Amino acid sequence: MADIEGYDYLFKVLIIGEEDSGKTALLTRYVEGAFTAAYVSTIGVDFKIKSVKQDGKNIKAQIWDTAGQERFRNITSSYYRGCHGAIIVFDVTNRASFKGVDNWITDLEHYGSGSVPKVLIGNKCDLSEQRCVTYEEAKSLAVINNMEYIETSANTNINVENAFGKLYAEISKKITKQAPPMENVIRLDTESVANEAVGVAVEAESDSSYGTENIPPWANKIMEELQKFSTRLEAVDKLVNTVTSILKRLDEIEIKMSKFESRKVDFKSAQAKSTKPR
């Protein structure tokens, strides 16, 4: 969707949840209208910009896609600060991802704010035959934690727009209650962004610089550093895989040698018996 000229609200939104719950696929479907079955883990964080019109207001959402792996928790935790809302994703075909929802809520309360509007999403609802988390138990968890619950499918584009729309409505409702109309316009605070960028210097950008086709320099810098980090991790993973393969091969050779020695002993024993005088 083309960028909206000017905006009434600028929301910082987080997408959090366990690895392989479909967070990146949801974001790609929502922003780009596309889906790919190829699964690639998010390294650290990534973000996209989406501009929409809702309830007569122009909304520009800066949506941060966070990695679900435990090893990235220290990196992603800094992005909770200053967020206006969060989408917590689990996979309805993976009970472990549902059990992890409580941990993500705890992280959100610890690093961000417990009062941040949030929506619980049960993703991959199109895989009905593989479902292991019922609608009723997910809805109950959402009610207990004062969240909306909605089931989506990034693959078949079920409820994706609706899920983000619900979150925007909750954020707008909270802002309207908290501030007079003239103060409702949320602008990106340069100082807070500098903190979130983990030491990367931030230059003041014009409104137009936040479009998806014109990412600000500070964001590009973050992405470059994350890409370097990703490359290093890939090299380490390849080395680990190579060493694992070598060790496995050595184990196989050791087993074969052990069998060979055993047969050698049996042969000598048999030979000795055959030559023993009767």
Tens of pLDDT, residue by residue over 10-61, are 999 999 999 889 998 999 999 988 887 655 554 446 778 999 998 888 999 9
SS3 state at 214: coil
* Tokens 């941060």 found at: 64
Nearest to 89 by CA among 112, 47, 119, 48: 119
pLDDT band at 97 (very low <50, low <70, confident <90, very high): very high
Q: What pLDDT is stored for residue 128 in this prediction? A: 93
Q: What pLDDT is stored for residue 44 in this prediction? A: 46
Nearest to 153 by CA among 130, 173, 123: 123
Report DSSP state, residue 2.
P
SS3 state at 206: coil
Nearest to 14 by CA among 23, 6, 5: 23
The residue ranges of DSSP E strands in the chain, in sequence order, are 9-17, 45-54, 57-66, 85-91, 118-123, 148-151
Domain 9-211, CATH among 3.30.750.24, 3.40.50.300, 3.10.310.10, 3.10.20.740: 3.40.50.300
Average pLDDT, the chain: 76
Check: CB of residue 170 under 8 Å from CB of residue 163: no
Nearest to 66 by CA among 96, 35, 43, 84: 43
The structural domains of the chain, with segments of one domain joined by +, span 9-211, 216-278
Check: CB of residue 87 under 8 Å from CB of residue 118: yes
Check: CB of residue 160 under 8 Å from CB of residue 29: yes
Q: What pLDDT is stored for residue 206 in this prediction? A: 36
Task: Answer yes or no: is pLDDT of 117 > 60.
Answer: yes
Task: Answer yes or no: is pLDDT of 212 > 80.
Answer: no
Does pTM top 0.85 for this prediction?
no
Nearest to 58 by CA among 168, 160, 164: 168
Q: What integer is the mean pLDDT of 187-191?
A: 44
Task: Answer yes or no: is pLDDT of 68 > 90.
Answer: no
Nearest to 218 by CA among 250, 195, 185: 195
d(CA 15, CA 67): 9
Q: What pLDDT is stored for residue 223 in this prediction? A: 66
pLDDT band at 166 (very low <50, low <70, confident <90, very high): very high
